[in-house]
Chains A and B, each alone.
Chain A
Amino acid sequence: MDPILLSRLQFGLTTIYHWLFVPLTLGMGWYVAFFQTRYYQTKDETWRKMAKFWGKLFLINFAIGVVTGIVQEFQFGMNWSEYSRYVGDIFGAPLAVEALMAFFLESTFLGIWIFGEGRISDKAHLASIWLAAIGSNLSALWILLANGFMQAPPANSFVYNEANGRLELVNFFALIGNPKGWIFFWHTISDGVAMAAFLILAVSAYHIARKQNLDFFKRSFNIAAVSGLIAGVLIFLGGHTMGQYMAEVQPMKLAALEAIWETEQPASFSVLTIGDLSGKKEVWSLRIPYAMSFLACNNFTCEVKGVNELQAQYEQEFGPGDYIPLMVVTYWTFRIMMAFGLAMIAITAYFVWANMRGDITTAKWMKWAPWILVLPYLANASGWILTEMGRQPWIVYGLLKVEDAVSPNLTNVDLLISLIGYTAVYGSLAVSMVYLMKKYAIAGPDAAMHESVDVAPAIVGSQD
């Protein structure tokens, strides 16, 4: 087996897994902070229960994000040592800032929030959940600025040092002002809010359909529907901006996710394209004229470069090689992400409209509504696969290839042990996590007021 492939598999697996939990952490923190703020202002007990109940689901999810996050920070050095040597001067900085500025804030104040109720003043307790939410979203900013450098390194931020063969930082502000990172951040934090909104909607729908705790869950549902809709639109605008910026800095990725083989002016948008088995040649396609030009540059007639022309251009610039990402992956993940993201907007818009029109508690669709939860999860995973696979074969766009970045000392045995080990550990974590999430989500707000709920009467144990 190929050690590069094993390292890539492992990075993909651990990153996608980590990313299943992080958006919910990012978004749910804001909701819990908001509910608690409303309680602080109104002393209405339902708000307090909302903060507690959604806070409980937040914590069950948060724990997995934290423990899998350590792996993320370590594996740059463990599996990608040559990458770490080549860009450590630049890439290490945002990671260190992330730990200093965000991880400490998030973990310390979340600990205070969990343990502080009744021990510290209500004001300090409220502040702690806001600081924890700010901390986790700040960590997203720094890691996305780091990722932004891999996707679109700002030309004025670094120089190549021939003496030691690595890139060196010359302008920190160019690094942290990278538009790519900030567009990512916009796309990602609004995605976090939408993810949390969909969890709230799904769980609330489950209870509303069973006519349980109606005041509590209707209130949750309405807030999540409105905020989810706003977040959905923001995600879309962020994604659209990203597409246009991609046309500038990663034209190959754009062409690959759109399956544009030949340069077109004006460019058409592919609704459905079928490629040959290699995924690198078009067999049949259905297209909307002018639409792609609009998506790439807000203008119906601009030129969008095709994969073949870009390949030829890159060969001239960087030497022989295959510069085309695996198109079957980029093309389809983009479509899944788009379709599910648009469906999320449509669904939340419908919820808002239905709620304005009348009583939603009797709606027939309510019992099916919990299934909407699969949408954000699949959209999130697709989006992340797209962004990382779309940068192939580069690890740092235009500067370093993935195949030159891997740790040369690792053997297949090393890699198989860790790959199988992570898969087993992560798999069993997911089983426990889903079990607890389901249990607490179904048990409802009263159970969330205690640490442990015994919802299965067959289980013998202490009731506390």
Chain B
Amino acid sequence: MSYESLQIIWFILIAVLWIGFFFLEGFDFGVGMLLPFLGKKDEERRAIINSIGSVWDGNEVWLLTAGGATFAAFPEWYATMFSGFYLALFLLLVGLIIRGISFEYRSKDAAPAWRNRFDWMIAIGSFMAALLLGAAFANLARGVPINADKMFTGNLFTLLNPYGLLGGLTTVAIFLLHGANFLGLKLEGELRERVNTFAKKLWIGATVLYIAFGIYTYIAGFWARGFIDPGIAPIAAVAALLGAGYFINQKMEGWAFIMVALNIVLTQVTFFSMTFPNVMLSTTNPAYSLTIYNASSSQYTLGVMSIVALIFVPIVLAYQGWTYYMFRQRISTDKKTLVY
């Protein structure tokens, strides 16, 4: 296969990994942020945690794989982005650490103060992760200062511009909605009613922020600076979000979940197509941008990694899908059935 087609394939593959991550871990983050607000009693909180208990760690591996694949396929991208977004990534890691540990530790002690502390660590960690990932992607869309040596020349405050912050908040809002829809599918009884009421309010906030973010993107001219016009993807993303509002009101939980999931997927599709073939756009000078051509690994490495991906990605998808099928039943607040 030609060098260029391998570079394109790996760009697509990394986009797929991020899309998978945002789709899957998106509802985990949402569930985590909703936890202390939605669960009033201890067993309610346990039911909420149990709804993602068996899958959150597997979902997070999508992020690790996206990171590892970026390192292997586009080392310059990995090096510039990870060192450039240093403090933001540090905070993201802190968020992921405090929430990951809390799922496992939270119910292993009965003291209410212990449990409450870990519940808030789940919520705060999930919020930090969602906010920072959203802000990071918004900044990638906007462009960041990169010099001729492929080095990021800004700092944390460069990323905290209005567009980045709006992107972060929009991501938080969408993930909250996604999490509420997921819980609507997984919980039962009073808790299910409560989360469905939550979803209605969350939908309004998410939709307002999402549309504002879309308009900002368009007006500021961050739109389609690469080769590919995202076409109807962004329009379809908005339509899916509006559709979700309808299904939430109709209490059609399955469709509501699918619509927000579609919105997340299509938003990412829009992002990656308007970026291509850049992977990091330089605001200092467009000529300094990192692209799939100047940031990639050698043809040999991309070829080897393609074979590895061809073998393992289908296997992973098969057993992860099987897990969701296996644990498809709703979670009750009956203590005998709760694990975490």
Q: Do A and B come from one complex?
A: yes
Binds A, one of B53-61, B175-183, B197-205, B247-255: B53-61
Closest Cβ of chain B: how far from A432's Cβ, in Å?
6
Instruction: State whether B71 touches A410 (Cβ < 8 A).
Output: no
Indicate whether A452 sits within 8 Å of B109 (C-beta atoms), given known contacts A89-B298, A99-B61, A111-B54: yes
Instruction: State whether A104 touches B327 (Cβ < 8 A).
Output: no
**Interface size classification for chain B:** 35 or more
Instruction: State whether A439 touches B109 (Cβ < 8 A).
Output: yes
Instruction: State whether B110 touches A461 (Cβ < 8 A).
Output: yes
Of chain B, the residue at the smallest CB distance from A76 is B71
Q: Hey, which chain B residues are within 8 Å of A67, CB to CB?
A: 96-97, 100-101
Instruction: State whether A103 touches B64 (Cβ < 8 A).
Output: yes
Q: Mark B98-137, 1 if CB is under 8 A from A, else 0.
A: 1011011101111110010000000000000000000000
Indicate whether A92 sits within 8 Å of B104 (C-beta atoms), given known contacts A111-B323, A161-B298: no
**B231: CB under 8 A from chain A?**
no
Instruction: State whether A409 touches B151 (Cβ < 8 A).
Output: yes
Instruction: State whether A451 touches B340 (Cβ < 8 A).
Output: yes
Residue in contact with A436 in the complex, picked from B90, B105, B150, B298, CB distance below 8 Å: B105
**A282: CB under 8 A from chain B?**
no
CA distance A153 to B282 in the complex (A): 34
Instruction: State whether B83 touches A407 (Cβ < 8 A).
Output: yes
Q: Mark A92-105, 1 if CB is under 8 A from B, else 0.
A: 11011111110111
Q: Hey, which chain A residues are within 8 Å of B78, CB to CB?
A: 76-77, 84, 88, 92
**B75: CB under 8 A from chain A?**
yes
Closest Cβ of chain A: how far from B89's Cβ, in Å?
6
**Interface contact tally, CB-CB below 8 A:** 252
**B76: CB under 8 A from chain A?**
yes
CA distance A451 to B46 in the complex (A): 11
Instruction: State whether A429 touches B97 (Cβ < 8 A).
Output: yes
Instruction: State whether B71 touches A95 (Cβ < 8 A).
Output: yes
Of chain B, the residue at the smallest CB distance from A84 is B79
CA distance A62 to B70 in the complex (A): 26
Instruction: State whether B327 touches A119 (Cβ < 8 A).
Output: yes
Interface centre among B83, B84, B94, B305 (most CB of A within 10 A): B83
Interface centre among B56, B90, B94, B103 (most CB of A within 10 A): B90
CA distance A74 to B58 in the complex (A): 18
**B301: CB under 8 A from chain A?**
yes
Closest Cβ of chain B: how far from A92's Cβ, in Å?
3
Q: Hey, which chain A residues are within 8 Å of B319, CB to CB?
A: 104-105, 108-109
Instruction: State whether B89 touches A74 (Cβ < 8 A).
Output: yes
**B31: CB under 8 A from chain A?**
no
Q: Hey, which chain A residues are within 8 Å of B68, CB to CB?
A: 73, 92, 95-100
Residue in contact with B82 in the complex, picked from A77, A87, A104, A421, CB distance below 8 Å: A77
Closest Cβ of chain B: how far from A442's Cβ, in Å?
13
**A271: CB under 8 A from chain B?**
no
**B339: CB under 8 A from chain A?**
yes
Instruction: State whether B300 touches A114 (Cβ < 8 A).
Output: no
Instruction: State whether B93 touches A417 (Cβ < 8 A).
Output: no
**A317: CB under 8 A from chain B?**
no
Instruction: State whether A410 touches B86 (Cβ < 8 A).
Output: yes
Q: Mark B275-287, 1 if CB is under 8 A from A, else 0.
A: 0000000000000
**B308: CB under 8 A from chain A?**
yes
Q: Hey, which chain A residues are within 8 Å of B289, CB to CB?
A: none
Instruction: State whether B53 touches A111 (Cβ < 8 A).
Output: yes
Indicate whether A88 sits within 8 Å of B297 (C-beta atoms), given known contacts A77-B79, A410-B86: yes
Instruction: State whether B53 touches A74 (Cβ < 8 A).
Output: no
Interface centre among A68, A112, A421, A440 (most CB of B within 10 A): A112
Q: Mark A54-84, 1 if CB is under 8 A from B, else 0.
A: 0000011011101110110110111101101
**B153: CB under 8 A from chain A?**
yes
Q: Hey, which chain B residues are within 8 Å of A107, CB to CB?
A: 57-58, 60-61
Q: Hey, which chain B residues are within 8 Å of A418, CB to CB?
A: 86-87, 90
Q: Hey, which chain A residues are within 8 Å of B339, CB to CB?
A: 114-115, 451
**A1: CB under 8 A from chain B?**
no
Instruction: State whether B327 touches A169 (Cβ < 8 A).
Output: no
Q: Hey, which chain B residues are within 8 Å of A436, CB to CB?
A: 105, 108-109
Instruction: State whether B109 touches A103 (Cβ < 8 A).
Output: no
**B33: CB under 8 A from chain A?**
no
Residue in contact with A96 in the complex, picked from B72, B89, B155, CB distance below 8 Å: B72
Please report B residues at the A interface, Cβ cutoff 8 Å.
Answer: 42-43, 50, 53-58, 60-61, 63-65, 67-73, 75-76, 78-84, 86-87, 89-90, 93-94, 96-98, 100-101, 103-105, 107-112, 115, 150-153, 155, 297-298, 300-301, 304-305, 308-309, 312-313, 316, 319-320, 323, 326-327, 335, 338-340
Instruction: A108-B316, A418-B86 are known; give 15 further A-B pairs, CB within 8 A.
Output: A67-B97, A74-B89, A77-B67, A85-B79, A92-B75, A93-B304, A99-B64, A101-B308, A115-B327, A410-B83, A429-B101, A436-B105, A454-B110, A459-B110, A460-B111
11 cross-chain CB contacts under 8 A: A60-B104, A63-B103, A63-B105, A70-B96, A77-B81, A78-B83, A89-B301, A103-B61, A104-B319, A112-B323, A409-B86
Q: 10 tightest CB-CB pairs across the interface, nearest first?
A: A88-B75, A77-B82, A92-B72, A461-B110, A92-B71, A81-B83, A407-B83, A63-B104, A96-B68, A115-B54
